[in-house]
Amino acid sequence: MTTLILDGYNVIHAVPELARHLDRSLQSAREALVRLCREYRARRGDIGRLYVVFDGRDVHAFGSPAPQDERVTVCFTQRPQEADERILRLIESQSAGSRCVVVSNDNEVFNNARAFGARVVSVQAFYAQARPASMRRPHPRASSGKAILSTRDAQQITEAYRKHLESRRRPD
């Protein structure tokens, strides 16, 4: 099973759909991210634990201290610890042989997580998979209803059409 660890505020600020919630409140943005994580984990069968790590303790977030459930664990750091350090401690706490994936665009988190043996993915790569199906855009050419040809097939068709045009120009 995979353990997935998200750098919470880094994810919120890097995903426009989540950052828009900041106009309402920081709590709204955090709740939107946690909701996204719960839905994503429910669709996946290979995620054992999913952690969302935020800087600072916020007892007002979610109406109570960090909510825990079987799908997502929300972690708020307490000073002097920062989210970056907490993420590394979570990686270290994983059992040997378990797969750990960290989601962050922060270079320090990225480099340190890799040094600790975790796989790191960008926020954009994570969100491309995690976002709800209703928000996924189909491939531009696939949505046009036109068949997509391979380069080889397209060349063969062009050559056949060229021969057809040449045969029409020949005087009989």
Model pTM above 0.75: no
Of 53-57, 86-90, 125-129, which range is least confident?
53-57
Dihedral of CA 95/100/106/107: which sign? positive
pLDDT per position as a tens digit, 107-165: 999 999 999 989 999 999 999 999 977 665 554 544 555 556 677 877 788 788 778 77
Neighbours of 134 (CB within 10 A): 5
Task: Give the chain's domains with CATH numbers.
Answer: 2-135 (3.40.50)
